[in-house]
Amino acid sequence: MNVEKESTSLASLFDGEELNIKSVNKHIWTLALPSLIELLLATLFGMVDMVMVGNVSTASLAAVGISNQPMMLILAVFQALNVGTMALVARFMGTGDRQSSYLVLKQTIILAMLLGIITSIIGFVCAHRVVTFMGAEPDVIPLAKSYFSIVSSGAFFVAVTMGVSAALRGAGDTASPMRYNLLANFINVFGNYMLIYGKLGFPALGVTGAALSTTISRGLAMIMALYTVFRPNSLFSLPAPPKKIDRC
């Protein structure tokens, strides 16, 4: 009897919410689609570099390809931190506790900076060992070392950007990370065109130019991400404290 009553109540609840299924699905896609595009854009940095340096030489193509593998491992480490950030921000935002969400954001940025600094130093110092361990050929090692040392130095930018993006997703804003990652990718493509091939008065730097363009565009993405969360009237902006009324 109790089972029948429970099933009846669940059915009635579902029937009551059935009219909202379409709106719920629409809301899910509204949140999920920008996140999907953002993740695709994050992987495009290495792919764009490979495609564009492939026109220079096969050794350059191999250098970028070898360097992208350890960079993906570094990104996976950063992503592990972001899982907790997104969950905590979503929880506090759901309860209307914006103060705690702001504290989670600040702590995430601090941890991301520390982790990014450590990763950048290790990547720069151990660049030769990393590309050698990855099996780079003798003619590829100098190019791969140059690319990896520069790109890994920008791990600091990536760590902070990914942390901020996770906080924004937890707060329900998946469009902003998509927008500044999209802009960063356009900057990277344009920078590659100038620095790899030596256009618009810039020297042709090849693989080094691709690494510089990628690092610069990631730095700009970090600046845009920080502006998104710390600008006035952002999702994480705290309400102004009440004004004190002087009583005579």
Distance CA 88, CA 146 (A): 39
Distance CA 162, CA 119 (A): 14
First to last CA, the chain: 70
**Tell me, what's the pLDDT at 15?**
46
Q: Is the pTM of this model over 0.75?
A: yes
Q: Average pLDDT in the 9-21 region?
A: 47
Torsion of CA 209, 44, 74, 167, to 10 degrees: 120
Distance CA 70, CA 144 (A): 12
CB 127 within 8 A of CB 145: yes
Tens-place pLDDT, residues 121-171: 999 999 999 999 988 888 889 999 999 999 999 999 999 999 999 999 888
- In the predicted model, is pLDDT for residue 74 greater than 90? no
CB 86 within 8 A of CB 167: yes
- The lowest-confidence range among 49-63, 99-113, 153-167, 197-211 is 49-63
Look up tokens 């363009």; give the residue: 213
Q: Name the most confidently modeled range: 40-49, 67-76, 101-110.
A: 101-110
Distance CA 11, CA 171 (A): 32
**Tell me, what's the pLDDT at 122?**
92
